[in-house]
Amino acid sequence: MDTPKFRPATAADYPAICNLINSAEELFLVHPAGDFPWSITQLERLAEERFALTVVHSAEGIIGFANLYGKLEQQHAFIGNVIIASTQRGRGYGKKLIEYMLHHLLQELRLPEARISVFSNNTPAITLYRSLGFSPYAEELLRTAQGKWQQLIHMRLATHL
């Protein structure tokens, strides 16, 4: 595995971030409120609402993206919009990205809890999050653009600071 590097995302990265999403179904898993194809305008709006927008890059270029949102002081924040390029999945980049975001959230922001949400049909992500110590605490149903219901599982990881 190529050693991934992490850095803050910039507006110059937005085209490459948009290209990480290959279908409306994939966009729904990553950003349910998004419209396919994911656009620079949508990312600009996302950047206004979220923080710590982060890209993963390797010899292949930008291969991943994630950010933080929903921060409650002294409580928690969510890791969101996690995506690894389809050609790079299964190589450990997703785990490294989540670990990087956890370090920022738990060590730099000094929050006692990290949260993440995942759809119940995204078995690889659920398996990854559980392996890192996340456990479910709530669920909700969201409707897809096609009118189908999807179960969203909210997970958390408590730490001892």
Q: According to the model, what pLDDT value does residue 159 have?
A: 74
Q: Are strands 113-119 and 76-84 parallel, antiparallel or unpaired?
A: parallel
Question: How large is the average pLDDT for residues 44-52?
Answer: 97
Question: How large is the average pLDDT for residues 115-128?
Answer: 96
End-to-end CA distance of the chain: 31
Q: What is the mean pLDDT of the chain?
A: 94
Q: According to the model, what pLDDT value does residue 32 have?
A: 94
Q: According to the model, what pLDDT value does residue 121 have?
A: 94
| Those residues with Cβ within 8 angstroms of residue 65's Cβ, 6 or more apart along the chain or in another chain | 9, 17, 20, 53, 54, 55, 56, 81, 82, 83
Q: According to the model, what pLDDT value does residue 161 have?
A: 47
Task: Please give the model's pTM, rounded to 2 decimal places.
Answer: 0.95
Does residue 37 surpass a pLDDT of 60? yes
Does residue 29 surpass a pLDDT of 60? yes
